[in-house]
Amino acid sequence: QNEQVPSRVKAALRTLSLCMNDVIGTNSHRSMLRHCAFGYRLLWGAPLVFTTPNVADTKHAMVKLLYEGGEVASWRLLEEHDPDLGSKEDMLRRVAEDPFAQAVFSDLMIRLYLEHVVGVRVDPRSGFSDGAAARLVTPGLFGVAQAFFGPVETQGRGGLHAHVSVWLKHGLSALDLDKF
């Protein structure tokens, strides 16, 4: 912003910022996400719903199964009511040693949350939308989603979670809010 900074330096920094937009964890990526969220607010106003699905990866049998590398067809552990997961320390160790298993688990849980709670489908086989609520499945818990935006980030110990803003086609009535 300073006038004494040469224009070539400013241009180089702008170009670097554009190149780094897709590199998760960088300041450029965080700035891009803020700009996207601002654009959504310009299009549809303030989101009526803000949620943070934070799934318990250290308490789920799927993380243990992914860590052990078992075949999907042999995952009978998911059908048990109270599967033996070992100690809490064992589960924390599994998540720390196998970030891929933790990421696969978190990705699936966030997709299920979007489909069954928000009412939208995110399908990587048909390409990702930019968050606009194309691929509407059914009305979600809050009603028909007009758009959603949910960047994924890490928590203190490295677990993944999303902050999901949802723009609704029709606002919630006072009666609906009382039900919640």
Contact between 105 and 60 under an 8 Å Cβ cutoff? The reply is yes
Question: How crowded is residue 169: how many other Cβ atoms within 10 Å of its Cβ?
Answer: 13
Which DSSP state fits 143? B
Mean pLDDT on 122-140: 62
Classify strands 152-154 and 160-162 as parallel, antiparallel or unpaired.
antiparallel
Tens-place pLDDT, residues 104-120: 888 888 888 988 888 88
The CA distance from 6 to 2, in Å, is: 9
Could you count the other beta carbons within 10 Å of the beta carbon of residue 68?
12
Around Cβ 124, how many Cβ atoms within 10 Å? 8
CA-closest candidate to residue 155, choices 114, 102, 109: 102
**What are 45-101's pLDDT values in tens digits?**
888 888 888 787 777 777 777 878 766 556 666 666 777 778 888 888 888 888 888
pTM for this prediction: 0.73
Q: Are 108 and 122 in contact (CB under 8 A)?
A: no
Rounded CA-CA distance 76/55 in Å is 21
* H or E element that contains 152: strand 152-154
CA distance 32 to 47: 18
